Structure 1
Amino acid sequence: MSNPRVQNAKPNEIANLGRALGILGDKWSMLILEMMIFSGPRRFGHFKDRLGMSDPVLSQRLSDLARVGIIERHQYNQRPPRFEYGLTTRGRELWTVFVAIWSWEVRWSGADDWTVPQLIHDRCGQSISPLFGCMECAAVGIDYRQTSARRKPGSRFADSNPSRRYRRSTVDATKQGNILGGAAIKLLGDRWSVSVLGAGLLGIHRFGEMQSELGISPSPLNERLRTFVADDVLRRKPVVEVQSRMEYHLRPKGLDLLPIFATANAWANGWILDPDDRDLVITHVVCDNLLKPAWMCNSCGEWLECGEFHFASARSE
């Protein structure tokens, strides 16, 4: 995306995208949602056995996801009372984001310990590699070079209030999920990491600008920048005016995260706040319209719809 142009906004307003990243930027929440989106409703014990989470951590994540209207609890047994957790309509619509994460993982993971699950389009019955497109003009194969962003001044996409955030987990949760592999969880399953990457896609390249935009202290910012450079997600580039200072620009591996952020932004605009109050607008410059992120089946050419696909490994559970 090109550098965002800006419009009027309330000072320090948290953008819809920032609210979405605040929900998704946690590895445990990502893994819980992965299970529910691709495998259906789940009970407390299912999550605990599959993910290896402690009872307090699991209870907190389920409570928080319910509080923001993504999941809901249903009682399936009266005595003793037992509950299962299912997605709300708002939660089900996150499928576009998780297909984007899976697609990025397939392309960039390179992990030897992750068996790539096949995505099956139920309408045509084929194993597919969906194509990212714009439903407004039916174009597919869209990447960052064909988009631009317009953002309100003063809006930010990171909430630095620690009372609302989880502590960074040091537990390895990258091998429990059978749909998402470890690379995506490493990049996106932490609020600061996902915010730094979002800043890069919005054309924010300098250390000080990231600090100001994200409200992040130098130490965690340095840590994430070093990690992303080592993982070939970012590259260091000397600032033209002051060669001793560096900018951080996304490499192809990082630029290919666009569909994840575009679908998350579209979901947030549609389900978190009034869609007419968009604080980050992504335009498809080819058709000069608001980008309407969608996934097209590369086998039959139809747009994917919620509930019309499954992962081969998810149905056997």
Structure 2
Amino acid sequence: MHRLLIMLPVLVSAAIVLTPDPAQAHEPTCQRRDTTVTLTPDSAVRYRIAGWMCRPARPTNTVQVLMSGFTYDHKYWSLTGSGRSYVSAALQAGTAIYTVDRVGVGVSDRPPADEVTVLAEAFVAHQLVQQLRRGPSGFQHVIGVGHSYGSAIWMIEAANHHDVDALILTGYLHQANPVQQAAVAAGLHQASEDPLFANSPPPGYVTTKPGARGRSFYYLPGADKAALALDEQTKATGTSGQRATMNLARDPSYSRNITVPVLLVVGDHDALSCDIAAGLLCSTAKQVCARERDYYPTNTPVYAAVVPKAGHSINGHRTAAAMQSSLVGAWARTAFSHHAVAWSRCQA
């Protein structure tokens, strides 16, 4: 059994605050580490990004940077649907983790909603990667890890900047199920109307309606009830800019410019990615490969894995350990050597 991890060295060229964080008290090796970023290369306006740096027991030169999905913050990676969190599994596997509240969510700054787009967040991710690599304690290898919209961020970042060493993309394939996309959209409302957001987020910020997350993001027979309840209690916001641009990464011009190893992970009951009636098959890794291989260059290693009895938000399902252990942790350690292991490599 293998597990997944991520960590961050000192972020240079940015303001950093390093403090123990009560919200991550169950992850005892994590410390709060913030930085500042801009949304575009020519902007002078800097926004604070809240981050958590997690170190494994032994030294490592590889860091995984975690990006959450739409209406999720860093707490997604601490859901314990399988009995332990993604972060805990990663630390046990021996790599480092840097998990963030993306700009506009959690305790990070909230820019105007129309400015928080997938293109802006891809540039933010690029700044984080560069900060992680700098200095005497910089990491040699940086892996971009995303969930859903977070995967879209990493696809664009990798295509535009070519500065990550590998990608782990969960819950995001090139073809989506439009029926479920419409259902998710119908389950949104203005964050200012939600009792969980009494601090009145700016106009254009949305969140899921109370009780909507189960039907939007979960395969309920496989969901962990406690994880789903926590998901509802800790939900985050999304923006009008994200909604308008989140499908941009499905443009093949991005994936065809990705040159590093890619691991695609999807739940076999992910209603946003899978629909038998529409021909969107994802019950097996072979089916995922058939859908995705041609979107990437022939010399880009592409792998696929399917988590059984899991919906879109994999970490809240009881089978999440299939991703955390036997898949992602081992793959992260062999991504640079291309050794054959338990997942399926998609043949060009």
Q: TM-score band, normalised by the shorter chain?
A: under 0.3
Whose relative contact order is higher, 1 or 2, with alpha carbons under 8 Å and at least 6 apart?
1
Structure with the larger helix share? 1
* Rg (Cα) greater in structure: 1
TM-score, structure 2 as length reference = 0.24
TM-score, structure 1 as length reference = 0.26
